Amino acid sequence: VTDNQGQPLNNVYVILTSSFTYKSADTNAAGSYNIRGISEGLYSIEFRPPAGKNLVSQRITNILILNGKTLTLDCILPVGGIINGNVVDSNGNALNNAYIYTYPNYNGTYTSTNVNYTILGLPEGIYTVNCSADRSYNSDLIAESQSKTNVFVSSGQVVIVDFILPAGGVISGKIIGFS
């Protein structure tokens, strides 16, 4: 398994599946993998790049495995596109731990403590980018989620998508007992 420059890729997660089988392996420093003990039949194989690499997963279907035979199947993982940005409320306050994901593909990540996020390894295409605020704390947000549509991503390019989630008003009070 290599990148599009021909460089071997270490730690690519290789998954072989059929209706009744799930087998996996990781590539070594030479980009090689080996999955053994496979019954004869039709399979799909997926190659998932290691975390932090801007490479696109690849899936190959209808692979015929025959008993007693070795099939050599090489794969090139192409460079992906990147979406990154910041998430704040309308007062400019950081929204840590907001979840941002793309549709289609459902690649996602959370904002870091410095309010930014990066989604790597996106195939070229048009996406909807969704942002949901962390609901585990008492939020002053009017809308805890927001979407941006028709975001075009191309291979090797960075697209900036920022989110500003509007802060709303607050009501508070005190419960007074009855006599």
Give the model confidence (pLDDT) of 140-175 as tens digits: 676 678 899 999 999 999 999 999 988 767 778 888
Is 121 exposed, middle or buried (CB count within 10 Å of its CB: 0-12, 13-18, 19+)? buried
For the stretch 25-62, what's the b/e string if a residue is b when 16 or more beta carbons lie within 10 angstroms of its beta carbon?
eebeeebebebeebeeeebebbbbbeeebbbbbbeeee
- pLDDT of 89 reads 83
Task: Please compute the mean of the pLDDT values over residues 124-149 and round it to a whole number.
Answer: 81
Q: 165 near 141, Cβ under 8 Å?
A: yes
Instruction: Give percent above pLDDT 70 in the chain.
Output: 94
Supply the mean pLDDT for the chain: 91
Residue type, 47: F
Query: Three-state SS for 128?
Result: strand
pTM of the model: 0.82
Give the model confidence (pLDDT) of 27-56 as tens digits: 999 999 999 999 999 999 999 999 999 999
- pLDDT of 145 reads 81
Scanning the structure block, which residue is given the tokens 């799930």? Answer: 22
Task: Please compute the mean of the pLDDT values over residues 72-96 and round it to a whole number.
Answer: 91
Q: Which helix (H) or strand (E) is 121 found in, with range?
A: strand 116-122
Per-residue pLDDT at 137 exceeds 60: no
CA-angle at 175, arms to 173 and 179, nearest 5°: 145
